[in-house]
Amino acid sequence: MAATRPLARNSELIIDRPKGTSHPKYPGLIYPVDYGYLKNTRSMDGNGIDVWRGTDIASRIDAILVTVDLQKKDSEIKILIGCTKEEKKLVYEFHNRGDLMKALFIER
């Protein structure tokens, strides 16, 4: 049996939407925490697995969000890495601010 290797530890984290920047399609949406993806991974939308990267130095993965986007008619997971309690709250609120996207927060 092959040894297991944690996905996030063995994938490069690309932050393409730093904290404080605007969403490319919705300029009124400001990213409250660094947002990016794991390079060479794939999610339901065909892109890399999405990641929220917080400021906690421990860099633990202890939560995910499961999102449903009614406009795109898809669902995804978002991995939270190194997010403080306050950052987790901000990310949750970011995904639940309108009627077209909702998220379920799952903490380890």
Domain membership of residue 62 (yes or no) is yes
Indicate if the pLDDT at residue 2 is higher than 90: no
Q: Is the pTM of this model over 0.85?
A: yes
CB under 8 Å to 55, separation ≥6 — which residues?
82, 83, 84, 87
pLDDT at 3 over 60: no
Distance between the two ends of the chain, CA-based, in angstroms?
Answer: 26
pLDDT of residue 5: 57
Instruction: Read off the CATH number of the domain in which 97 is found.
Output: 3.90.80.10
What pLDDT score was predicted for residue 89?
A: 97
The answer as to whether 85 is a domain residue is yes
Q: Could you give the number of structural domains in the chain?
A: 1
> Is 5 among the domain residues?
no
The CA distance from 94 to 48, in Å, is 20
Look up the domain containing 27 and give its range: 13-107
- At 72, the pLDDT band (50, 70, 90 cuts) reads confident
More confident residue, 1 or 43: 43
